[in-house]
Structure 1
Amino acid sequence: MSTVSKIEYRAVIKFLTKEGNTPQEIKKRLDGVYGTAGPSYTTVKEWAKRFRLGYESLEDEERPGRPADSITSENISIVEQIVLTDRRLKVKEISAMSNLSDTVVRRILHEHLGMNKVSARWVPKLLSAIQRQRRVECARSFLALCEVNPTRVLESIVTGDKTMVLYFDPLSKMESMEWRRPEEGAPLKAKVLKSKRKIMATVFWDCKGILLLDFKEPNTTINATYYSTFLTTLKQKIREKRRGMLSKGVRLLHDNAPVHTASVVQIAMKDLGFEQLDHPPYSPDIAPSDYYLFRDLKKSLRGRHFSTDEELKAAVIDFFDSKDTAYFCKGIELLISRCNKCIEIGGNYIEK
């Protein structure tokens, strides 16, 4: 029945009830006029009862509980307070606590509070205010160094680090996505774990390419003495591969691992003539090897199976050999934009 038909029926029921007719008599008279299109006996009985009790309106009673328009400044404030108390609450839980519908809660969250529920982002460390300030200071120091002649500074940088390379690293869910027709359905993928077998690769590079690639021998401990010897080898490689670079000055960029900050290593760097660029702790997002080189290396190896150390080492070498000078140059140049971004966001981690 349409809204108009309901009002008409109710008007008839009201008139006949006031005449003193019983619900059975009213139902019979309505059926005589409207036939099967008339209201049911239950409806007639309910409205006849209302009119006998003094109800005058032909409209439905306003239902208790939520107002017709629940998006009020008061309800927006209530939802906001609930969410800020526990940001992990589900919409249904917020709805129950605020006595608002799920739809209204969603509209308040998205349209009025500008909120979306997002997953936590993994970061190397929850930085303190002092650590964030330290990151900003290092970024400003580097940018100040680049002000006069950024190209010359970037060309003087030698950076590197060590990384673990797995025999097998499975593709992520996103990386496994395929183009499929609707009738083909989604592809199936068995859950697999990362391989426990791995090798450690130590890589040093500059804006022209790889300078030194070393695979750690089994059971070899990387201590300060080992690293000092490694830096001596690095200097020899720079002399062989980058003529004139040593005379212009080498700026070494590595992280703040205890091995790198040991006094014997600091003495070795001074003897070798390396200038050390200041790098803040817990900052892989402004270390070229981490945010660029190793990320791409592992992405290229992901999903591939290797049986021996030699196979894995060959794959790592092939990856680096396949890259031209422009590739390595881009990785170093990104330091400038990343330092600017670090300052812009107050020392917090830079999203990928």
Structure 2
Amino acid sequence: MHTRGDFGARRQEISRRESVSTVAEPVAPGRIAELITREEEQFRAKRQRSDQLWKQAREFIPRGVPSSFQDAAPQPVFIDHGKGSRVWDVDGNEYVDFHNGFGVMVVGHAHPEIVRTINEQAARGTHFAQPVADDAVVAQELSRRFHQPQWRFTNSGTESTLDAVRLARGFTGRDRLIKIEASYHGHHDALLVSVEPPADKMGPADAPVSVPYSGGTPLTVVELVTVVPFNNLEILERILQKHKGEVAAIIVEPVMMNIGIVLPDEGYLASVKDLAHRHGALLIFDEVKTGCTIAAGGATERFGVTPDLVALAKAIGGGLPCGAVGGRADIMSTIDEHKVVQIGTFNGNPLTIAASKTT
């Protein structure tokens, strides 16, 4: 597990490998491959139904999975059901679930209160594309926990960070974003940059290069994103000076989680906020993973720093696709004034909001 955030994931991995290569005993040729093959054979032997379903799925779904994050070697495991902290696959194998649906299922699988809420709401209707009473209840609770007066709902973390970026740009009238190297903020073009940059393209440690994470990302979009290392205020200040008057927002995971668990240095988050404001930029917390998990009020509560905008998802929906973006009243007023558009057919879906309220 990585413990420092001064460099991106691949920088740390390269250093680790160089260190290991100088002290590790040589391994007999082919021994590692032999052991891996043996483990894979044992793994597959216990998951034959998963393998069958995977082969069927590959005929109609790229790589046989609905999200590339679910693609795994030697094969994905198809889940049948879950209860509490455990899940069972289609072959009957039982697992203690440390995965938790990428951090969504903090209340456990099939929690009786969530199941009851979903059943009751489904009987009344699953979708209206109209406001419901629970909207304000959930928004008020989020406001209490995260100290943001205004909220809008989304359906995922990607949508939440997308809306946060749009709000920041609309409010400031600026286009440039600053993000942390090796952080992941969803799969929209604006932030799908330098998530896992190749070693030969990432640039020097004190001046990382913005690298698109996926084909199909326009370079004109990538050029509007400047990458900095986590926990390094000196480089951040230098970048803000270099792009003086251009930066709309700095977006950070308060606890960096894409390369393990990397805690912010003491005072780092408060200093980032101060630097942002001194340069007329906003601070966005991506609390998709930390929100309602490391504290009831997420990292905002845990570290005592309130950003200008916060993006939430995952844990707040009780297992249903739910997200939210909250912010200062003056920033969120750009929606009231029709300056910034924030829309979505399933935003505030009654089934999801009911589950969120219960959660």
TM band (smaller chain): under 0.3
Scaled by the length of structure 2, the TM-score of the pair is 0.26
Which of structures 1 and 2 has the larger relative contact order (alpha carbons within 8 angstroms, sep 6+)? Answer: 2
Scaled by the length of structure 1, the TM-score of the pair is 0.27
